[in-house]
Amino acid sequence: MSLQVENLTVYYQTLRGEVHSLEHANFNLGDGEIMGLAGESGCGKTTLGNSLIYLAPPMKFIEGQVALDGEELPVWDIERMNEFRFKKISIIPQYAMNAMNPTRKIGKMISELLQSRKINYKELLSVIKERLDKVKLPHDVLNMYPIELSGGMKQRIVMVLSTLLNPSLLIADEITSALDVSTQKSVAEMIVKFRDCGCMKSVIFITHDVSILYQIADSIMIMYAGQLSEKASKETIIHSPLHPYTKLLISSLPKVGVKHSEKKLTGIPGTPPLLLNPPVGCRFRDRCPLAFEKCLETPPFVEIEQGHFLACWKEGAPYA
């Protein structure tokens, strides 16, 4: 088991109160597993990703345990996480490729970054070059400025950089969202390739686009309004999901071959609840066609079959 998360609860502190953006997250990640994390904007997927590596204010740790390779991660302590960050657990944040310093050459930027972690750039140079070969970038890029590179190239450099020390876990936050379809594909496939050759053990791939996950992930976890809804193999999530939210979400996605004139797709009526003062119980309750009295209690996220986790009173009942 590469990553074990138990009961992780993280709030956001705002002037108007605490936003309950992640509550009681319980899940495991196997060695070599690429887990896709999907959900609408504001559902807490980025909060989950960030809280595993850099839990800084306004994020506030409430409770929970996280273990990586059997070793407990002090996620609530920014200082102590320093020895894990980048070495054991690494992140590609959203918009990372646009955050490069435009006045630094790529090589200089990497060397400065490594220096801040007290790692010698020269010693790692051979690894860097080998990794650049892997992502099909010429070694010249080290002498280039970010402006000379396309979005896809920048994203690949960020990927090489964040996996240089072969971390156990890589968190990739929306790394394909701003890219064109063709580049999207190659960047996503790079992730699989890196995993296969051991550049990192397992991956949490955060995105709002479920169809990409179907292409590259092993398992998919669906979040809704700060709670985990369902986690299973990608085949199960796409073809036979159980949670009502997953079902409605998958069925609302337009696919090539579906025409409006032939088959009209439907969205999910309603909007997600505000997480400032979230309703008690299952947060999908108001929009759920199956909701009943029991849903006033929060459904636990339990394993109903091998590798299939679900938080729903109704659909989970037959397995209880």
Cβ nearer to other proteins, comparing 102 with 257: 257
Following DSSP, what letter does each residue of the chain receive, concatenated? --EEEEEEEEEEEETTEEEEEEEEEEEEE-TT-EEEEE--TTSSHHHHHHHTT---TTEEEEEEEEEETTEEP-TT-TTGGGGTBTTTEEEE-TTGGG-S-TTS-HHHHHHHHHHHTT--HHHHHHHHHHHHHHTT--GGGGGS-GGGS-HHHHHHHHHHHHTTT--SEEEEESTTTTS-HHHHHHHHHHHHHHHHTTSSSEEEEEES-HHHHHHH-SEEEEEETTEEEEEEEHHHHHHS--SHHHHHHHHTS--TT--TTT-------S-PPPSSSPPSS-TTGGG-TT--GGGGSPPP-EEEETTEEE--HHHHGGG-
Cβ nearer to other proteins, comparing 93 with 241: 241
Provide, rounded to whole angstroms, the least separation between the CB of residue 151 and other proteins.
Answer: 8
CA-derived radius of gyration, the chain: 20
Provide, rounded to whole angstroms, the least separation between the CB of residue 42 and other proteins.
Answer: 9
Cβ nearer to other proteins, comparing 201 with 287: 287
Pairing verdict, β 227-233 and 202-207: unpaired
Provide, rounded to whole angstroms, the least separation between the CB of residue 310 and other proteins.
Answer: 19
- The binding site for other proteins (CB under 8 A) comprises 40-41, 136, 180-182, 184-185, 188-189, 208-212, 214-215, 238, 248-250, 252-261, 264-268, 271
Cβ nearer to other proteins, comparing 86 with 245: 245
**What is the C-alpha separation between 106 and 129, in angstroms, rounded?**
13
Q: Name the token pair of 306.
A: 């091998």
Provide, rounded to whole angstroms, the least separation between the CB of residue 267 and other proteins.
Answer: 4
Provide, rounded to whole angstroms, the least separation between the CB of residue 229 and other proteins.
Answer: 13
Cβ nearer to other proteins, comparing 180 with 305: 180
Pairing verdict, β 59-68 and 3-14: antiparallel
Provide, rounded to whole angstroms, the least separation between the CB of residue 152 and other proteins.
Answer: 11
**What is the C-alpha separation between 89 and 169, in angstroms, rounded?**
5
Provide, rounded to whole angstroms, the least separation between the CB of residue 219 and other proteins.
Answer: 16
Cβ nearer to other proteins, comparing 164 with 188: 188
Cβ nearer to other proteins, comparing 265 with 280: 265
**What is the C-alpha separation between 186 and 223, in angstroms, rounded?**
26
Q: Give the count of beta carbons closer than 10 Å to the beta carbon of residue 292.
A: 10
Provide, rounded to whole angstroms, the least separation between the CB of residue 243 and other proteins.
Answer: 13
Cβ nearer to other proteins, comparing 198 with 254: 254
Provide, rounded to whole angstroms, the least separation between the CB of residue 314 and other proteins.
Answer: 19
Cβ nearer to other proteins, comparing 118 with 255: 255
